[in-house]
Structure 1
Amino acid sequence: MADKSRQDGHLAQNAAVLLKVAQTMSKLGVAPFPRNYELFFEALSGQNQALTRDVAALGSHPSQSRIEEIGVKYHLPGFAAVATDTIRADTARAISALNHGLKNSIAKKEAFAALLRHFIGRLETDPVAGMSDFANDAGRLRDAVTTFEREERAFAISMGETVAQLGGIGSDIEAMRKASTRDPVTGLANRVAFSAKLAALYDDGNASGPAALALVTVEGLRDLGESHGAATAEKALKKLAPVFRKSVKKNDFVARIGADEFAFVFHDVSADNAEAIAQRIRASVEVVQIALPNRTFTSETLSLSTGIAMALTASSGADLFTQAELALGAVRACGKPGVLVFSAAIGGRGKKTYSPHAA
């Protein structure tokens, strides 16, 4: 009952944020585009403090282009199309400028080559030409060489700038790619990347090997945010992220798939192995001290509830996720952090749920 009340409270809180988003956008005169709702939801939910500050600085009746600059800057998924259009336009301009400069350089090289041929021709066909004529031709050639060198240096500089610009565009594309699969707070994989990973476990319709999926809820994180602010919860997440990374093997996988939810994929493990790994991760989390704002000598700790399902006993990625979700639900229904591996008897006759608080 307590868990359901807490979930109802979170739903009510999200609904309040959505209402505030709509009211704020209307007040500021922001167009009701889906991507704008996404931006203002991120700002008002307080999950990214820097984004919140940038949106607050927009003032009333901000231009759509300014809104899109912020959305692209923070790599929000809804602004990916805008970012793609910007990159495409920047690339086209850079290549067009390079092409124009190259054509101009080639034309000047051809003119310079023609002048050289003329000078050589004079030397070969008129060996007794007057010194004044020779001096005039040599002077024109000298001026042409000077001009040619200057223009070549300018073109080389322009080429370097264009190469740097194209390199920046490449970096932007890579940043977009990473942003589409990375959680901005923790730097871990996000739900999009997790969905791809889950599907890959059943590429040919069968489990690719003895893998385990562990769904995790960080117990106490939501309460921490509600009591001490979103910034404190964000700092907690940033402290947990390296703990999660260090707790898994190189070929394993971890993603943040919700506000306080994470997913792990352990490869080449048995159910007992997966359970032992989950226990170690939980133990590592429980020793992390979360500093509280304006409380120098006070800190809090968090814990994990984990539901595990085995790939070989599920028929698909969706089935595997459902089994892990059921196991997690059974753990949380007990009201104490713990670990549970899915079984057919999960409704009370399943495997023991381990809890550090159990007698």
Structure 2
Amino acid sequence: MTDKPQHDGNQAQNAAILLKVAQTMAKLGVAAFPRNYELFYEALSGNNPPLTRAVAALGAHPLQNQIEQIGITYHLSGFAAVEADAIRADTARAICAISHALTDSIAKKDVFAAMLRGFISRLETDPVAGMSDFADEAARLRDAVAVFEREEKAFAVVMTETVTQLGGIDSQIETMRKAATRDPVTGLPNRIAFSAKLTALYDDGKATGPAALALVTVEGLREMGERHGAATVEKALKKLAPEFRKSVKKNDFVARIGTDEFAFIFHDVSADNAEAIAQRICTSVERVQVALPNRAFKTQTLSLSTGIAMAFTASGGVDLFTQAELALRAVHSGGKPGTLVFSAAIGGRTKKTYAPHAA
């Protein structure tokens, strides 16, 4: 009961930010696009001070392309499509420029080649040509060589600039790809990356090797957000992420797939191995202390519920996910955190559910 005022205060704070976002956008004449709401929410929430300053510098009635430039710069998810369009346009311009330069260079080479052929033909067919005529032809050829050399150097510069530009575009694409497949809070892969990894576990409907999928719910995280606000949840997630990373092998995989949900893929494991790893991760999470706002010296701990499924028991990625989800639901139905491996008799709870502190 003592946390109720704090809970209400955080709800009121979030509502106030949302109201301020709408009012600010209306005052500045910003179009009510979902991506614009995302940008102004990030700016007004104060979670990213550089972004906040960039938005403040826009002034009244900013152009949409100015807003989009900020969204692209800070890799906000709502601006991914805009960024992709900009990259495509830059790439098209670079390719078009080099295409024109190449066409022009080829045409000039053809003219120069024709001049050379004409000079050679003149030498071969008119051996008694006067020295003055020969000197005139040689002078014209010399001038043409000089022009050709300058044109070749200019083309080389264009090629170098284009290669540099395409390299920058490649870097932009990689940055956008990472932004699209990474959770911005934890830095872990997100659900998009997880879906690709899950699909890769199967080849023609068969598991590519011994592997396990563990779906994890961080118990207490949602309640923490309701009581103490989104900033406290972010703090907790940033503490959990390194615990998850260091708890798995190099070729294993962990992703954040929901507000309080994570997915692990363990390679080269048996069911017993997977359970042991899940227990180890749970133990490490329980040691994490999350400081609560406005509560001097008071912290909170979290725990995990885990549903595990083995790749060889499933027909594909969707089936494997369903099995792990059923196992996780069975844990939740037990009323306390634990770990459960999917089995055919899971409805009858024939598989032991491990409490967090079980040996």
Aligned to 2:119, the other structure's residue is in SS state helix
Aligned-partner residue type, residue 28 of structure 1: L
Partner of 2:304: 305
Aligned-partner residue type, residue 30 of structure 1: V
Show structure 2 runs of 5+ residues with no match. Answer: none
Show structure 1 runs of 5+ residues with no match. Answer: none
- Relative to the length of structure 2, the TM-score reads 0.76
Q: How many residues align?
A: 349
Determine if contact 1:194/1:255 at 8 Å carries over to the other structure. Answer: yes
Give me the whole-angstrom Cα distance separating, in 1, the residues matched to 2:205 and 2:165. 44
Is the alpha carbon distance of 1:310 and 1:48 closer, same or farther for their aligned partners in structure 2, counting shifts above 3 Å? farther
Give me the whole-angstrom Cα distance separating, in 1, the residues matched to 2:304 and 2:245. 18
Partner of 2:157: 157
Where do residues 218-237 of structure 1 align in structure 2 (5 Å cutoff)?
Answer: 230=231, 237=237
Q: Deviations over 1:244-287 (max 9, x none)?
A: 22321344321123445432233454554333212322444456
Give me the whole-angstrom Cα distance separating, in 2, the residues matched to 1:320 and 1:57. 51
**TM-aligned CA deviation for residue 90 of structure 1:** 1.4
- Relative to the length of structure 1, the TM-score reads 0.76
Say whether 1:92 aligns with 2:95: no
Give me the whole-angstrom Cα distance separating, in 2, the residues matched to 1:159 and 1:328. 61
Aligned-partner residue type, residue 304 of structure 1: S
Give me the whole-angstrom Cα distance separating, in 2, the residues matched to 1:218 and 1:148. 73
Partner of 2:275: 275
Aligned to 1:80, the other structure's residue is in SS state helix
Q: Deviations over 1:22-69 (max 9, x none)?
A: 233223221011221232334344554544443343333221101111
Aligned-partner residue type, residue 101 of structure 1: A
Determine if contact 2:98/2:162 at 8 Å carries over to the other structure. Answer: yes
Give me the whole-angstrom Cα distance separating, in 1, the residues matched to 2:357 and 2:5. 22
Determine if contact 2:278/2:306 at 8 Å carries over to the other structure. Answer: no
Determine if contact 1:201/1:207 at 8 Å carries over to the other structure. Answer: yes
Partner of 2:339: 340
Partner of 1:211: 212
Aligned-partner residue type, residue 319 of structure 1: T
Is the alpha carbon distance of 1:13 and 1:33 closer, same or farther for their aligned partners in structure 2, counting shifts above 3 Å? same
Is the alpha carbon distance of 1:238 and 1:210 closer, same or farther for their aligned partners in structure 2, counting shifts above 3 Å? closer
Give me the whole-angstrom Cα distance separating, in 1, the residues matched to 2:273 and 2:153. 64
**TM-aligned CA deviation for residue 152 of structure 1:** 0.2
Determine if contact 1:94/1:165 at 8 Å carries over to the other structure. Answer: yes
Deviates more, 1:303-312 or 1:216-225: 216-225
Give me the whole-angstrom Cα distance separating, in 1, the residues matched to 2:302 and 2:332. 16
Partner of 2:58: 58
Is the alpha carbon distance of 1:203 and 1:144 closer, same or farther for their aligned partners in structure 2, counting shifts above 3 Å? closer
Partner of 2:353: 351
Give me the whole-angstrom Cα distance separating, in 1, the residues matched to 2:168 and 2:5. 49
Partner of 2:136: 136
**TM-aligned CA deviation for residue 157 of structure 1:** 1.0
**TM-aligned CA deviation for residue 354 of structure 1:** 1.9
Partner of 1:72: 72
Give me the whole-angstrom Cα distance separating, in 1, the residues matched to 2:193 and 2:49. 24
Is the alpha carbon distance of 1:159 and 1:219 closer, same or farther for their aligned partners in structure 2, counting shifts above 3 Å? same
Say whether 1:326 aligns with 2:332: no
RMSD: 4.5
Give me the whole-angstrom Cα distance separating, in 2, the residues matched to 1:55 and 1:175. 22
Give me the whole-angstrom Cα distance separating, in 2, the residues matched to 1:270 and 1:4. 45
Determine if contact 1:216/1:307 at 8 Å carries over to the other structure. Answer: yes
**TM-aligned CA deviation for residue 149 of structure 1:** 0.7
Give me the whole-angstrom Cα distance separating, in 1, the residues matched to 2:144 and 2:254. 64
Aligned-partner residue type, residue 142 of structure 2: R
Give me the whole-angstrom Cα distance separating, in 1, the residues matched to 2:339 and 2:246. 22
Partner of 1:192: 192
Aligned-partner residue type, residue 96 of structure 2: S
Aligned-partner residue type, residue 308 of structure 1: G
Partner of 1:43: 43
Is the alpha carbon distance of 1:67 and 1:96 closer, same or farther for their aligned partners in structure 2, counting shifts above 3 Å? same
Is the alpha carbon distance of 1:206 and 1:56 closer, same or farther for their aligned partners in structure 2, counting shifts above 3 Å? farther
Aligned-partner residue type, residue 329 of structure 2: L
Partner of 2:265: 265
